[in-house]
Amino acid sequence: MKDVTVGARVTANPARACGVCDYCKSGRGNLCRATIILGSASTTPPTDGAFAEFVTVRADQCHVLPPDMDDATDAMLEPLAVALHAVKRAGVVAGKRVLVTGGGPVGLLAAMTAKAFGAVPVALSDILATRREAARKLGVEATVNPASPTLADEVRALTGDGFDVVFEAAGARAALRQAFDLVRPGGTIVQIGTLGTEDIPLPVNQLMVREINFVGSMRYGNVFDEAIRMVQTRRVDVRALITGVLPLAEVSDALRLAGEKTTALKVHLEIG
Ligand SMILES: [Zn+2]
């Protein structure tokens, strides 16, 4: 961050934390109450996103990029940072049996990151066959259909007593509920997906009796430079998730394309 010079190619952490509160000072700026993020409707007024030729960010939001990385790859660092932070929230995953619920971009990146960190096996669940297929193409060893009547048997064959870590990236109540059944005693559920602001009933007795750890993961933490190194050293092939590239002038087509859940993962907008 400190070595940002005029003309440098950078990627930006879209979250601008205050930098002075206790959370920021203790390295947990993702929890800063005064954060302003590019492209959010959670504040009043809402903030603009970055579908533009020029965007202003603070220097400390910038992370210098290696010269050999292209723009499409650079733009994937933000979702990778979400996945990387989530995997770190789970603690050590090396050798652990991991399930990711939800085969959207963040779920896929969480599975790929867990695998890069040595998790074995890594499985992914999604009700869409196309997303399970995409996961397998990206190197996820096992995929399951969460609606399958034989799910419990499939999970037993994969893991024995359940998964050590479940990343809930579907942002679906049913997926979170199922995570409590699929995690092993003493295991960890990491909540990445957004489930809205309403309260949700949860099997808290299982949480207690089976000593399940249930932790949240909010955006990125300070992982952008680490994400850059992971991509640069090809630990995670983020480019494989880009299913379309369109110019900025065709932004509405790009958004429509990105909304086609059965076929699209990430659609890249080319600026300039
Ligand atoms: Zn702060």
pLDDT, tens digit, for every residue of 116-151?
Answer: 999 999 999 999 999 999 999 999 999 999 999 999
| 181 located within any domain | yes
Distance 195 CA to ligand 1 centre (A): 25
Distance 36 CA to ligand 1 centre (A): 10
| 72 located within any domain | no
Distance 84 CA to ligand 1 centre (A): 21
pLDDT of residue 114: 98
Distance 127 CA to ligand 1 centre (A): 39
Distance 79 CA to ligand 1 centre (A): 22
Under DSSP, is residue 195 helix (H, G, I), strand (E, B) or coil?
A: coil
pLDDT of residue 3: 75
- Tell me the pairing of strands 10-12 and 62-64: antiparallel
| 269 located within any domain | no
Rounded distance between C-alpha atoms, residue 177 and residue 181, angstroms: 7
CATH number for the domain including 147?
A: 3.40.50.720
Distance 32 CA to ligand 1 centre (A): 4
| 253 located within any domain | no
Distance 16 CA to ligand 1 centre (A): 9
Higher pLDDT, 203 or 3: 203
Look up the pTM and report it.
0.95
Distance 13 CA to ligand 1 centre (A): 14
Distance 224 CA to ligand 1 centre (A): 18
Other Cβ atoms within 10 Å of 102 Cβ, number? 26
| 73 located within any domain | no
- Tell me the pairing of strands 242-247 and 213-216: unpaired
Distance 218 CA to ligand 1 centre (A): 14
Residue 204, token pair as written in the block: 């808290």
Under DSSP, is residue 87 helix (H, G, I), strand (E, B) or coil?
A: helix
**Domain that includes residue 167, residue range:** 91-216
Rounded distance between C-alpha atoms, residue 88 and residue 117, angstroms: 10
Distance 25 CA to ligand 1 centre (A): 7
| 18 located within any domain | no
Total of domains in the chain: 1
pLDDT in tens, 34-66: 999 999 887 788 999 988 889 999 999 999 999
Q: Check pLDDT > 70 for residue 2.
A: no
| 11 located within any domain | no
Distance 220 CA to ligand 1 centre (A): 14
Distance 34 CA to ligand 1 centre (A): 6
Distance 199 CA to ligand 1 centre (A): 27
| 138 located within any domain | yes
Task: Give the percent of the chain with pLDDT over 90.
Answer: 90
